[in-house]
Amino acid sequence: MRIMIVDDEVIIRTGLAQVIKWHEIGIELLSPAASAEEALERIPGERPHILLTDIRMSGMSGLELAEEARRINPDIEVIILSGHDDFVYTQQAIRQDVCDYLLKTSRPEEIIKTVLKAKRRVQERWAAQSQNYHHKKEEISRSFEQWTVDGQPEDGRALADPLFLPSSIDELQIQNWKKQVLIIAADGWNDSQSENLLLFAVENLLSDLLTCTTMIQKKRIVAAVYLDPRKYDIDVPYRQAIRHIEMMMKCTLFVAIGQPVFQLEKLHESYLTADEAFGYQVIIDHKMCSYEEIKQRKGGKTVCTYEEEIELSSILLEGDLIALKSWVQRFIKEQRQDPNATLESLSACLHSVVIAAHRWLERVLTATGREKQLELDHPPAPFHLKRGEVIIPQDALFQHLYSVMKTYHTQHAEGQTAHVHKAMAFIEEQLEQDVSLQQVAKHVHLHPNHLSEVFKKSTGMTFGDFVSRRKMSRAMEILSVSPAKISEVASQVGYEDVKYFSKIFKKHTGKTPSEFRDDPTLKLEPHGM
Report the alpha-carbon distance of residue 234 to residue 241 in Å, rounded: 16
Q: Are residues 386 and 464 in the same domain?
A: no
Confidence of residue 527 (pLDDT cuts 50, 70, 90): very low
Question: Considering its fold, how many domains does the chain have in total?
Answer: 4
437 & 369 share domain: no
C-alpha–C-alpha distance, residues 218 and 210, integer Å: 22
* Cα angle, residue 73 at apex, residues 67 and 79 outer, rounded to 5°: 55
**One domain for residues 283 and 199:** yes
Q: What pLDDT was estimated at residue 519?
A: 74
Examine the pLDDT at 5 and tell me if it is beyond 90: yes
What is the reported pLDDT for 376?
A: 43
Residue 439 amino acid letter:
Q
Report the distance separating Cα 299 and Cα 462, nearest Å: 50
Mean pLDDT of the chain: 81
Residue that terminates a domain, selected from 385, 414, 443: 414
Verify that 466 and 491 share a domain, yes or no. Answer: yes
- CA pair distance 491, 510, nearest whole angstrom: 21
When pLDDT is cut at 50, 70 and 90, the band that residue 99 belongs to is low
The pLDDT of residue 157 is: 45
Instruction: For residue 196, tell me if it sits in a domain.
Output: yes
The pTM of the full predicted model, rounded to 2 decimals, is 0.56
Q: Are residues 394 and 445 in the same domain?
A: no
Query: How high is the pLDDT of residue 180?
Result: 93
Q: 270 with 337, same domain?
A: no
Same domain for 256 and 201 = yes
Last residue of a domain, one of 243, 270, 294: 294
Show Cβ contacts of residue 490 under 8 Å, excluding neighbours closer than 6 positions: 475, 496, 497, 498, 501, 502
Residue 162 pLDDT: 74
Angle formed by the axes of helices 393-411 and 343-367, to 10°?
A: 10
Is residue 168, in this structure, part of any structural domain at all? no
pLDDT of residue 406: 80
| Confidence tier at 106 by pLDDT (50, 70, 90) | confident
Q: Please give the share of the chain, as a percent, with pLDDT higher than 70.
A: 85
Could you tell me if residue 335 is inside a domain?
yes
DSSP character at residue 176? T
160 part of a folded domain: no
In a domain? residue 150? no
Least trusted range by pLDDT, from 135-139, 209-213, 220-224, 287-291? 135-139
Contacts of 204 (CB under 8 A, 6+ apart): none
CATH number where 42 lies: 3.40.50.2300
The answer to whether position 274 is within a domain reads yes
Residues 482 and 398 grouped into a single domain: no
Amino acid 379: pLDDT: 52
The pLDDT of residue 233: 55
Q: Are residues 228 and 336 in the same domain?
A: no
Q: Looking at the structure, tell me whether residues 485 and 391 fall in a common domain.
A: no
Residues 100 and 185 in one domain: no
| CATH number of domain containing 239 | 3.30.70.270
- 21 pLDDT more than 70: yes
Is residue 159 domain-resident?
A: no
Which residues are registered as beta bridge partners of 29?
Answer: 3
Range of the domain at 43: 2-125
Is 247 a domain residue? yes
For 371, 412, 419, 421, 519, the CA distances from 415, given in Å and listed in that order, are 17, 9, 9, 10, 40
Give the CATH number for residue 463: 1.10.10.60
Q: Where a domain ends, among 108, 125, 142?
A: 125
Residue with the larger pLDDT of the pair 204 and 341: 341
For the cut 70, the answer to whether the pLDDT of residue 214 exceeds it is: yes
Q: Based on the domain organization, do 193 and 117 belong to the same domain? A: no
Confidence of residue 29 (pLDDT cuts 50, 70, 90): very high
Name the strands in the sheet holding 100-103, side by side, starting at the edge strand that comes first in the sequence: 28-29, 2-6, 50-54, 77-82, 100-103
Is the CB of residue 385 less than 8 Å from the CB of residue 391?
yes
* 38-49 pLDDT tens trace: 999 999 889 999
